[in-house]
């Protein structure tokens, strides 16, 4: 394997590829390979996305904490970005029940720190590698209210499912009133102007009931550790 890598590097050097680009590529690969190895050490679970800025008094914090608890009660791993806010709440619910509580954190200059309710954690340097792992490690996605980061994660997963680049797994928007303007944009602008298809509106479900998310996870069941939907997914 190492000899093949050296041959590949030499062939790229002959094509004039800059040495600095090799260094960048290796750094990207380290983040990805470490992540891919790590997510095979626990069963695919439910990834919870949402704002890092809400406090434990926020109603969505309480709802995310309840979701984490219910998922743990039903034997599902809870996966988040590992930080505060909604992430902390979901991890906390699972952790307090004694379930698997996983945090895929990222190095930032401000705001992000690992919450204290994690049974498993790893840290990424690159956002894209972290997003790949947050996606590949789950069988259901729950999007709580959040900001630019949450919208970025939501949009990427939606377009990957839309374009058949990943399995069609359940996607939930938690908080009907919060997400209503976005759903209205989908219907009255994007769909009306032919930017999306009517079938694309079925890729997600807006709900106020965290029990809906648990029920979806229960229907899918419990994949074995080491198994991943992407291993057999054809696109």
> Can you tell me whether residue 137 is helix, strand or coil?
coil
Residues 16 and 125 placed together within one structural domain of the fold: no
Considering the domain boundaries, does residue 230 fall inside one? Answer: no
**pLDDT the model gives residue 38:** 86
Tell me how long the chain is. 235
Sequence-distant (6+) residues with CB within 8 A of 106 are: 81, 82, 112, 123, 124, 125, 126, 127, 130
Considering the domain boundaries, does residue 229 fall inside one? Answer: no
Residues 51 and 18 placed together within one structural domain of the fold: no
Residues 173 and 83 placed together within one structural domain of the fold: yes
Residues 89 and 134 placed together within one structural domain of the fold: yes
State which residues form the domain around 25: 1-41
**pLDDT the model gives residue 110:** 55
Residues 23 and 81 placed together within one structural domain of the fold: no
Residues 69 and 149 placed together within one structural domain of the fold: yes
Task: Give how many domains the chain has, as a whole number.
Answer: 2
Residues 124 and 210 placed together within one structural domain of the fold: yes
d(CA 184, CA 179): 9
d(CA 138, CA 169): 9
Residues 49 and 80 placed together within one structural domain of the fold: yes
Give the rounded distance of the alpha carbon of 79 from its chain centre. 7
Considering the domain boundaries, does residue 235 fall inside one? Answer: no
Residues 30 and 74 placed together within one structural domain of the fold: no
Domain with residue 196: its CATH number is: 3.40.50.450
pTM for the whole structure: 0.90
Considering the domain boundaries, does residue 99 fall inside one? Answer: yes
Residues 60 and 37 placed together within one structural domain of the fold: no
52 burial level (CB within 10 Å; 0-12, 13-18, 19+): buried
**pLDDT the model gives residue 145:** 98
Strand order of the sheet with strand 138-143?
120-124, 101-106, 78-80, 45-49, 138-143, 171-174, 205-207
Q: How many beta carbons lie within 10 A of that of residue 162, not counting itself?
A: 15
Considering the domain boundaries, does residue 228 fall inside one? Answer: no
Q: What is the pLDDT along the chain (235 residues), one digit of tens a residue?
A: 557 666 766 776 677 777 777 778 778 888 888 888 888 888 899 999 999 999 999 999 999 999 999 999 999 999 999 999 999 999 999 999 999 999 998 876 555 578 999 999 888 888 888 899 999 999 999 999 999 999 999 999 999 999 999 999 999 999 999 999 999 999 999 999 999 999 999 999 999 999 999 999 999 999 888 888 888 877 6
Nearest by Cα to 141 from 120, 158, 119: 158
Summary count for the chain: helices (H), strands (E): 9, 7
Residues 56 and 14 placed together within one structural domain of the fold: no
């Amino acid at each position: 394997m190492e000899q093949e890598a050296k041959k590949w590097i030499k062939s790229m050097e002959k094509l004039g590829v800059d040495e600095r680009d090799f260094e960048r590529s290796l750094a990207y690969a380290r983040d990805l390979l470490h992540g891919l190895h790590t997510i095979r050490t626990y069963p695919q679970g439910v990834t919870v996305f949402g704002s890092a800025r809400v406090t434990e008094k926020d109603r969505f914090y309480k709802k995310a904490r309840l979701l984490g608890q219910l998922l743990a009660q039903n034997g599902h791993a809870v996966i988040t970005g590992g930080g505060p806010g909604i992430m902390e709440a979901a991890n906390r619910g699972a952790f307090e029940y004694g379930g698997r509580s996983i945090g895929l954190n990222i190095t930032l200059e401000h705001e992000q720190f690992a919450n204290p309710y994690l049974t498993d954690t790893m840290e990424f340097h690159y956002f894209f590698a972290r997003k790949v792992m947050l996606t590949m490690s789950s069988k259901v996605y729950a999007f709580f209210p959040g900001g630019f980061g949450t919208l970025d994660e939501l949009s990427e997963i939606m377009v990957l499912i839309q374009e058949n680049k990943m399995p069609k797994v359940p996607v939930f928007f938690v908080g009907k009133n919060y997400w209503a303007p976005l759903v209205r944009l989908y219907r009255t602008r994007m769909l009306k102007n032919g930017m999306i298809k009517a079938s694309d509106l079925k890729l997600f479900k807006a709900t106020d009931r965290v029990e809906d998310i648990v029920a979806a996870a229960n229907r899918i069941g419990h994949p074995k550790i080491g198994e991943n939907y992407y291993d057999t997914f054809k696109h």
